[in-house]
Structure 1
Amino acid sequence: MKIGATDKFWKYTKITTVLLTTFVIILSGCIGEEQNKTESGNTTNDSQGVTETNSSHGTTGGDYVYGTAKVESVQIVTLESFPVQIQVIAKGYLPDGCTEIDEIKNESKGNVFNINISTKRPRDAFCTQATKNFTETIPLEVRGLKAGNYTVNVNGVTESFELSVDNGPQEASNTSSFKQQIITEADNGTIISVENGSTFYLKLKENPTTGYSWELNLSQGLNNISGEYYPPEQPEGIKEPLVGAGGIHLWEVKAVSKGSQQVTGIYKRPWEKLTGEEEKFTLNVKVV
């Protein structure tokens, strides 16, 4: 009887030991797994923190992949203004839903304008594969250019335009050689000389959409032959109106009497009283 009891005791002891060992192993695995998860979470947060700090783009999730936009067509638009304004309308497509226009660089050398349109997309992003069309309107710096032919290169697609005359105001002349002069804001406060019976043009920027317009006053030796407002030209392919865009007001003035004459202008809303802060224009005209 004692032997049997002893055998049972050791048998139960072994079973209990095995169960306890198994429980300890399982418990250790759970604790280790939870600890690993916590450490992993901390590592992920630290990694994201480093990415945000080190990334020059400030976007969580890694760097960008940069490329060059696919341009399919280039159109040159000449706006009705003086000096002439030139805009380039570039049309093309982006390869997927994540790619977007990054930067537009516009450089000129001689008679060639080189325009580069670059793209960017998140490196590890999952994107739709449908292409996206884009249209970019890019102004060219053409003020002061000499008359001639010019080429525009946008990502390998080229187009050209011509300036028939030098793109800048004619300088006022105090010599006996008189030309039909074009006066702009740049000539404010200056003196010009014209022959009696001749005409000159006055071009001032104006934006009636804001309610402002020029009010001109001419001395008795000058006659205002004509005056007309020219709104900005609507670029082809763009249906929406150019909200808030100003145009040019053009007057033709004729000298009818010799002596010192004057043109004065004030830019204001007709229904508002003068405050003294309005924009003003003055041109002194010597008629000979």
Structure 2
Amino acid sequence: MTTDNQATHAHFPGHLLDGKVAVITGVGAAETIGAVTAAVFVQEGAQVVCADISGAQKDTAVALGPAAAPFQVDITREEEVEAMFAHAVEVFGRVDILVNVAGNPGGRRGDEITVEEYQSLTSVHLLGTALTNKHAVRAMTPNGGGAIVNFSSAASFNTDKLISMAYAAAKSGVNSLTKSYAVHYGPQNIRVNAVAPGFTMSKKNHRVPAEALAMLEGKAALGRAGQPEEQAHVAAFLASDRASFVSGVVVPVDGGWTSRLA
């Protein structure tokens, strides 16, 4: 069995994204998938706009050095999304990549879905994806194309009692938007794919009780949780020219979780 240590410290060559400019949303506190993705993209040679609603994107950008610039954004507000891409062009000259990681927690909130729960989850995961993808296309088209990587979830494929039904539905919508954008904007040389993480040891999941952690890890065929780096490296591949004929796919990065019948 592969250990967490082996997974986290696997060696990968750099230069996968040399010369690329990426906008990455959801780049909040350290050890989140978004922040780790920004670090991996810089390691691979990209310049990155680190975008988040929290303010923590400033610390992330400072830690990454001159290849990174922060931007505060609420991805449910179109004027802020438009300004984010304008800022990327102003600072780095162009936009080649969007990685849309931004989202809010999808755990079950009660026996029934409330209007508040539905609006909270769909506004960020579904509307936010639609808006960021829309303005990414606008920013990329003058440059001859680009690549979009949306973050979905293993919950988008099947049902889990611990996951909000509204969250699962919104992430299923992310999959649909991913495929639709791939088809509609393929003629502009824009590729659109999605990463669907399974249970991953990002910062918030370090607080999961041991008994629940063992249960969640056991759902993966590999018998362990994923690491944020493992999500980030798949996103980097999909955003890179090595994936030049990959578009319209949703890639589960879940250790085999979604391969199970139950």
TM superposition score category, shorter chain reference = under 0.3
Q: What is the TM-score with the length of structure 1 in the denominator?
A: 0.24
Q: TM-score, normalised by structure 2?
A: 0.25
Larger strand share, 1 or 2: 1
More helix by share: 2
When Rg is computed on C-alpha atoms for both structures, the one with the higher figure is: 1
Q: Which has the higher contact order (CA 8 A, sep 6+)?
A: 2
